[in-house]
Amino acid sequence: MSSADEYDRSMNIQSHAPGYWPLEAMEKWNDHKWQLRNRINSLEELESKINLTREERSGILLSGNKLAMSITPHYMNLVDKDDPNCPIRRQIIPRIEETWEDPAELSDPCGEDSHMPVPGLVHRYPDRVLFLVTDRCASYCRYCTRSRVVSGVGEQQLETQYEAAFEYLENTPSVRDVLLSGGDPLLFTDAKLDRILTRLRQIPHIQFVRIGSRIPIFLPQRITPELCAMLKKHHPLFISIHTNHPKELTTEVQQGLIRLAEAGIPLGNQSVLLKGVNDDVITQRALVHKLLMCRVKPYYLYQCDLIEGSSHLRTSVSKGLEIIEGLRGHTSGYAIPQYVIDGPGGGGKIPLNPNYVVQHTDNQVVLRNYEGKEFIYPEPNSMPAFLE
């Protein structure tokens, strides 16, 4: 299938009721509170809707020991009930492979706990902090980097100390950029999120505030005009969404993203490279093209973190480089994310790129373009031949 075919096939997907829900659900489908109340949280609920494999059934029975299962009706309607390899299904339904042990995997793969000056605030980079404001999400990704603290059933509890965090920020003038994450900050009420943003805006040296959220994908009904009007008060404000597959960008999601963009909020997307979900050029090209149509800049493509129980979802670094090379020169530069690995144990984001430098000497750089052709760029300290 060509990239154009994949794009066209995924462009007009809707997640509206009924799908797996009765017709009467249509009346409340666009109410985000109804969506949250009707999430699928148990084996019995899920088994009544789709045909589970033995691996999935066993994984669900054990999921309460690591990371809870929770699926919004909106997102559930994207799941293929008969295909265990459905890219949506692989992201959201537990599997027995989550119990496999791999000595390379870590409970805290990004080393966040060791960079917390106060509980809930991660200060790894000189001018940026990560503020973990909640441990709850609308739905739970099976490759969650923070599965140790997210959903309330992991091995740790997130005990964010808000006042201590605000005091630390007030007393640390090197911090100019705050990222709200968790969990998902957009699960908060408008009023609660407004209070947090207002408090941050009262700190003079904080220039940028960002929100990391999968709510626009799991629960687009939450992106209301009232929410956007509130967020608009706190510019410059940026939002990073998390989308992995073009099928996730439904018409409802697109409407929500455009609503955020029209509120003046720059939007970027962070994808995780996942085996059997998006580890091929055709899917990635369709995804990034569709993101641009939703007014979202593809920002990062993450190599899947070494989170415990994720080996069945991880693919090779060479596959990620192959994807970037398959995008470069074949689509707009705006559509190409930066491929990164979060250095295991707390090294931060490390960019990875295909090798386009064939040779580099004091006099010149030999470069390879996307077609494999070579070009010479003379270094400024080299003398043109006609002057020698």
Residues 228 and 91 in one domain: yes
Residues 147 and 172 in one domain: yes
Q: Are 336 and 323 in contact (CB under 8 A)?
A: no
The pLDDT > 90 percentage for the chain reads 89
Which of 125, 162, 168, 356 is labelled catalytic?
125
Strands (E), the chain: 121-122, 128-132, 177-181, 208-213, 237-241, 267-273, 297-303, 338-343, 348-352, 357-360, 364-368, 374-378
Q: Total structural domains in the chain? A: 2
Q: Are 208 and 177 in contact (CB under 8 A)?
A: yes
Residues 363 and 221 in one domain: no
Alpha helices in 202-343 (DSSP H): 215-218, 225-232, 251-262, 281-293, 317-327
Residues 150 and 272 in one domain: yes
- State the pairing for strand pair 177-181/128-132: parallel
**302 included as an active-site residue:** no
Q: What is the pLDDT of residues 130-156, one digit of tens each?
A: 999 999 999 999 999 999 999 888 778
pLDDT attached to residue 152:
85
Residues 76 and 152 in one domain: yes
* The pair of three-digit structure tokens given for residue 16, joined into one six-digit string: 């509206």
pLDDT-derived band at 5 (thresholds 50, 70, 90) equals: low
**86 included as an active-site residue:** no
Reported pTM: 0.93
**141 included as an active-site residue:** yes
**146 included as an active-site residue:** yes
Residues 365 and 330 in one domain: no
Residues 325 and 378 in one domain: no
Residues 156 and 274 in one domain: yes
**304 included as an active-site residue:** no
Residues 181 and 239 in one domain: yes
Residues 284 and 367 in one domain: no
Which amino acid makes up residue 363? N
Q: What is the pLDDT of residues 45-104, one digit of tens each?
A: 999 999 999 999 999 998 877 899 999 999 999 999 999 999 999 999 999 999 999 999
**342 included as an active-site residue:** yes
Which of 86, 137, 228, 294 is labelled catalytic?
137
Domain range for 380 is: 357-387
Which CATH number covers residue 291? Answer: 3.20.20.70
Residues 47 and 147 in one domain: yes
Q: In whole angstroms, give the CA distance from residue 263 to residue 274.
A: 32
Residues 320 and 371 in one domain: no
Which of 95, 108, 135, 141 is labelled catalytic?
141
Q: In whole angstroms, give the CA distance from residue 215 to residue 229.
A: 17
